[in-house]
A and B are shown apart, each in its own frame.
Chain A
């Protein structure tokens, strides 16, 4: 049934969902995600990817089951503590007001009450990491699509989260910007952040993730190393598509 080599449900370290169910979206999902890894959630449309991500972020409360952060139920955590630990980048990155990039990034500091100095340092670090230092004064209406996506990610990074959960962060970006963001995610994971991405592009998941979780109809269909969780048998089973991987590891392409 499941290609599942990493299933040791040790919920003490990491972000776990235990037997999580949301009617019509996900049913009976249990897994523990590890910090320092890039995990991608894949699956066909309506498989429950965004719901699983929202549950893990504490934004959707499962009807049964538990979400645990380092063994502590998210539901029992004060909201600001949860917000300090878990950064969430929604699919539709919107900003109602035409803030300057620096002000936008500053919104990521809202869960913290550490004072202006710490805020400034964190905002600077985030802007530097995303190569936005020259744009700090610029209103977001004057940014290109790629710069805007980076500015919205800078908002999350400014909150210095230990977990970064992003719902299709690469949608609507051109190839160069997609790769630039993937490099960012890898760098964050190297710094110990747990990165969880919902991705549609299976090749990107294959090449850039440490671990892939495949959902199908709300169930866990596969979970493991990309080469196992996204093997041709799983792809045929879940996506109903006959496909072949081409190329060397790390630079594979999916031929359908």
Chain B
């Protein structure tokens, strides 16, 4: 346990209780909770906080592993096409009208993510080549994107259209224990697989050939990456829609606090991703707006200027 992880854990331990109290209805921890407040706490805020932690941790860990795998600080878990695949699944559930049935939406989304994972595995085959794999991921992402646009433009009813568009923006509004039940175990399993890949990702720092000379099996590493990123991102999209930037920004920000090996970045990125989503989601809830700000939009709004700052910093370095 190094200092970064301890600090992030402490911050999380502080942020989660605060987030449970914050919202349109503020709860007072020092008075007895009314039955309504108790329901708000246990049926709305608690599952929502758990989802924020889970999805943030998954995105952070997946982003750190992806950047290590592609040896690129600008890589994002979305690159593998798994998030678009899962989103396509969810869109289809709206399109077909299944979305109103309990469990159908997340199941469709998970199936879409699994489909993208299977396609990745089939295309990249057993070569373990990172470049082939990245191109396959981009192909799947653009195919899923095109199919989503198709589904939207042919949407059966205006109602379905607005449902799809709103859902795609990503949010934790109105989520319940139903989402927690599948998102938590899948994300935990995914993070565990990514951690297992840690040593191989470290070796990959030296390039693919040197990594193989250090005993890395590229096919096994690829399998771990597909399954690990697939489970975390797929579960995240199924539970909350598309939430961008977390997987890109969080590892990027934290790298300087680690020894820069990919394996030492995975856990802090998971913790910081969880912290970021808990805080961002609480802010979305308490902002005095007519309707709640969508989490996905909030993060993009936050992420773009942040990224601009990074770019300017890089530009200064180049000048």
Contacts and interface: CB of A to CB of B under 8 A. Distances in A.
Interface of A: 54, 57-59, 79-80, 82-84, 86-90, 92-100, 103-104, 107-108, 110-111, 152, 155, 159
Contacts, number: 73
B206 A107 contact: yes
Contacts of A93: 206
Given A97-B262, A98-B260, A103-B260, A90 B210 contact: yes
Interface string B250-263: 00000100011110
A86 to B, nearest CB: 7
Interface string B193-214: 0000001001111110110111
**Chain B: number of interface residues, binned into ranges:** 20 to 34
Contacts of B199: 110
Nearest to A100: B259
B97 to A, nearest CB: 47
Question: For chain B, what secondary structure do more than half of its interface residues adopt (helix, strand, loop), or is it mixed?
Answer: loop
A137 to B, nearest CB: 11
A115 to B, nearest CB: 15
A110 B221 CA distance: 15
B259 A87 contact: no
Contacts of A92: 207
14 contacts: A59-B209, A59-B212, A59-B213, A79-B216, A86-B213, A92-B207, A95-B206, A96-B207, A99-B205, A99-B260, A103-B260, A107-B205, A110-B199, A111-B214
Given A90-B207, A92-B207, A99-B260, A107 B215 contact: no
B210 A96 contact: no
Contacts of A88: 209-210, 213
Interface in B185-236: 199, 202-207, 209-210, 212-217
Contacts of A111: 214-215
A159 B214 contact: yes
B294 interface: no
A95 B205 contact: yes
Nearest to B72: A96
B260 A97 contact: yes
A96 B215 contact: no
